[in-house]
Amino acid sequence: MVVDEPATETHLAKVLERTPREVADALHELADEYTVQGRGFELRRVAGGWRYYSRASHAAAVEAFVLDGQQARLTQAALETLAVVAYRQPVSRSRVSAVRGVNCDGVMRTLLQRGLVEEAGAEPETGAILYRTTNYFLERMGLRGLDELPELAPFLPEAEAVEPDSLEGVPSFDPDAPDREDDDKTEV
């Protein structure tokens, strides 16, 4: 209950002077026991470790108590930017802006301040800083890893069939790209 990020089985085993297997078995047993007893909290495996959470049925009361008067929600722009980073990471700010069609500098600063994204090196060709999501992001989303992100296909608008690796049909936000409108014009 005192850790600021999920505790790994290995770390707990070291501190408790037990084998990782013993710790893992005990954690699973505790998690099951808390669920059966209907406790107000639960022990969950997230972001590569274990952490206590308020049970979903009690979340509204806990949230009201903890946040009393605080704003905890992300804006629509922040959610969109976070989604682009999550699905395309590591990714530069300019690429995120290109995908969203608007400048995202301010939103990226907010996500950095909230600890949801972090720097992940630099792009070799341009030197642009690359960003990725953090373990805190995984924790807040209740995910064990990025492989648990939902598939995007069901949320995309239906379009003509395009090869998966093709950029055909994807609008370009590159100012140096040729103007495609000229292709559609017919001389009279």
Tens of pLDDT, residue by residue over 141-183, are 889 999 999 887 776 666 544 455 544 544 444 444 444 444 4
d(CA 135, CA 140): 9
pLDDT tens-digit series, residues 29-81: 999 999 999 898 999 999 999 999 888 888 888 877 776 655 557 889 999 99
Does 87 share its domain with 144?
A: yes
DSSP letters along 79-128, please? HHHHHHHHHH-SEEHHHHHHHHTS--HHHHHHHHHTTSEEEEEE-TTT-P
Q: What share of the chain is helix, strand, coil (3-state, %, to 5)?
A: 45, 15, 40
Q: Same domain, yes or no, for 47 and 88?
A: no
Strand partners for 43? 52
Asked if the structure places residue 2 within a domain, the reply is no
The token duo for 92 is 């530069």
Same domain, 56 and 86: no
Answer yes or no: is 106 within a domain.
Answer: yes
CB atoms within 10 A of CB 44: 18
Task: Give me the pLDDT at residue 188, please.
Answer: 38
CATH number of the domain that residue 118 is part of: 1.10.10.10
pLDDT at res. 51: 92
* 166 in a structural domain: no
Would residue 145 count as lying in a domain? yes
From CA 24, how far away is CA 18, in angstroms rounded?
10
User: Are 112 and 136 in the same domain?
Assistant: yes
Distance in angstroms (rounded) separating the CA atoms of residues 151 and 123: 26
Q: Are residues 81 and 140 in the same domain?
A: yes
Q: What does the DSSP 8-state code read for residue 179? A: P
Do 143 and 80 share a domain, yes or no?
A: yes
Instruction: Report pLDDT for 170.
Output: 47
82 and 136 part of one domain: yes
> Domain range spanning residue 30?
9-67
- Count: domains in the chain: 2
Question: Residue 5: what pLDDT?
Answer: 87
